[in-house]
């Protein structure tokens, strides 16, 4: 999602339009935020792609990406 927002410059509203078919009934923004925060606190999750990615974009970090996804996609998800 970070790449879609930062590198492809997709509008958050356009990305959010794709969510409904994949969103379980009753899955709220609060639940999605809590899930992502739990994952970003897990070192195994944070380091999962390190062996597959040879060069990260200069401005990228997992926490920065998570913060952006929360503010631009997850918080507005219920609205």
For residue 60, give its domain range. 2-19+27-78
Band (pLDDT 50/70/90 cuts) for residue 52 is very high
- Per residue in 44-66, is it b (16+ CB within 10 Å) or e — as a string? eeeeeeeeeeeeeeeeeebeebb
Band (pLDDT 50/70/90 cuts) for residue 13 is very high
Distance between the two ends of the chain, CA-based, in angstroms?
A: 19
The tokens of 13 are what? 């509203």
User: What whole-number percentage of the chain has pLDDT above 70?
Assistant: 100
Asked if residues 16 and 78 have their Cβ atoms less than 8 Å apart, the reply is no
What is the count of structural domains for the chain?
A: 1
Q: What's the pLDDT score for residue 79?
A: 72
* Of 58, 74, 44, residue with least CA distance to 7: 58
Q: What's the pLDDT score for residue 59?
A: 85
């Amino acid at each position: 999602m970070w790449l879609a927002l930062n590198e492809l410059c997709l509008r958050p509203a356009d990305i959010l339009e794709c969510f409904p078919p994949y969103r379980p009934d009753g899955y709220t923004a609060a639940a999605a935020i809590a899930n992502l925060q739990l994952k970003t606190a897990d070192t195994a999750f944070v380091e999962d792609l390190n062996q597959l990615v040879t060069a990260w974009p200069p401005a990228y970090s997992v926490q920065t990406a998570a913060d952006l996804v929360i503010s631009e996609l997850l918080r507005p998800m219920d609205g």
